[in-house]
Amino acid sequence: MKYPKGIVKHQTNEKNVIYGNRGMRLEQDLNLTNEYYRENDIAYIYKKPTPIKVTKVDYPSRKSAIIKEALFEMPSTTDYNGIYQGKYIDFEAKETTHKTAFPLANIHHHQIEHMRHILEHRGICFLIVRFTVLNQTYLLPGEDLFSFLETAQRKSVPLSYFMEKGYLIRDKIKPRVDYLQVIDQIYGGVKPCKKEMENKA
Amino acid sequence: MKYPKGIVKHQTNEKNVIYGNRGMRLEQDLNLTNEYYRENDIAYIYKKPTPIKVTKVDYPSRKSAIIKEALFEMPSTTDYNGIYQGKYIDFEAKETTHKTAFPLANIHHHQIEHMRHILEHRGICFLIVRFTVLNQTYLLPGEDLFSFLETAQRKSVPLSYFMEKGYLIRDKIKPRVDYLQVIDQIYGGVKPCKKEMENKA
């Protein structure tokens, strides 16, 4: 495990956002993981803000604005993207309470199409799925997701497929969900960044 | 100029979003440009949604949610990112009514820091600035922005610097602001995508 040297920053930016039932724990873990990657100069990957359509705004003063009415919109891309060692990274993350399969209804059709385009344009694209009841988190490469979609008639990806084609991401302390370790494993031979090496020394 | 063959899609997704005075025309032009790039399978570059902190939500039914109070948050990254020919693309776009210089106060400190990291990690990063009164739109490569920041004591980038180091993006019909043409020019030798070649034929 890699621990950052020196003073540990307090994570004070857990935002007071309302998520409903949309897999908040995995999202929090990934936010902390991405923060860790940034603080250690490993990768710059961010969650995109939730798209919101603002319909009414109050301007009590020139500098402040309070939104008085707005609606959640459907995202047209995946939630996470950024850069890692010169490579374009793009992924969607979902939690499921199902124990034996991940229902594909969890991912919108245009998100699937987006992922297809990213792969065609030589980006690194994948799915992170957490089976909350089993407490198992898998990374499924986009290529394997599309192999499944092309051949299977099923509306959910069985857990066995994640076990066979995906990569189990083990819980760690820092970073919590070290998905880039899996990316290194798949795409191999990528040099660690300078700062990461300093931390290891 | 490249015109797409066949039926021209109607652009019906200009969203009813409230922008205030934050350079909406350039943003609209860039949204149409990115849409053109996507429809022609040239690049997948999106504007990130405006970050909004939701503080009150009404759930009139299980499927719908109306936001009753929310605040605009400061973005921690640039507004646009995506993939072009396997490369990570990242940029910020701003309009100014100034005629002789672009005030750097228009870009937040953490956006500048973000751009620095992207360059260090071998992404393609730049600024698009439109001088609205002059009706001139420039692409300034990130490298040149940082050269300026390192040497200049000024709090604005003079127009002459954009003219010397930047690239004027000429108005076109489709796509409106063809910034990837400039990227091709700077980074050269990048093969056009299949569909683009079909359109040219």
What is the band of B190 on the pLDDT scale with cuts at 50, 70, 90?
low
Q: What is the pLDDT of residue B152?
A: 80
- Write down the residue that tokens 């040497």 correspond to: B151
d(CA B33, CA B36): 5
More confident position, B135 or A16: B135
Q: Cβ neighbours of residue A11 under 8 Å, at least 6 residues apart?
A: A32, A35
More confident position, A83 or B6: A83
| pLDDT above 60: residue B23 | no
Domain boundaries, chain A: 25-48+57-200
Helix, strand and coil content of chain A, in percent to the nearest 5, comes to: 30, 30, 40
Which residue in B83, B187, B196 has the most chain A C-beta atoms within 10 A of its own C-beta, making it the best mutation to test that interface? B83
Q: What is the pLDDT of residues A42-93, one digit of tens each?
A: 999 999 998 999 999 998 776 778 999 999 998 889 999 999 999 999 999 9
Identify the H or E element spanning A147. Answer: helix A142-151
What is the band of A152 on the pLDDT scale with cuts at 50, 70, 90?
confident
- Percent of chain B scored above 90 by pLDDT? 69
Of B55, B68, B118, the CB nearest to A83: B118
- Percent of chain A scored above 70 by pLDDT? 82
Range in A138-147, B26-35, B49-58 the model is least confident about: B49-58
DSSP line for A152-198: ---SEEEHHHHHHHSEE--B-SSSSB-HHHHHHHHH--PPPPHHHHH
Contact pairs from chain A to chain B, CB under 8 Å: 118
Nearest residue on chain A to B115, alpha-carbon basis: A44
Name the β-bridge partners of A89.
A82, A124
CATH number of A25-48+57-200: 3.40.1350.10
Write out chain A residues lying below 8 Å of B49, CB-based.
48-52, 73, 75
Of A50, A84, A114, the CB nearest to B49: A50
Given this structure, which CATH class describes domain B24-200?
A: alpha beta
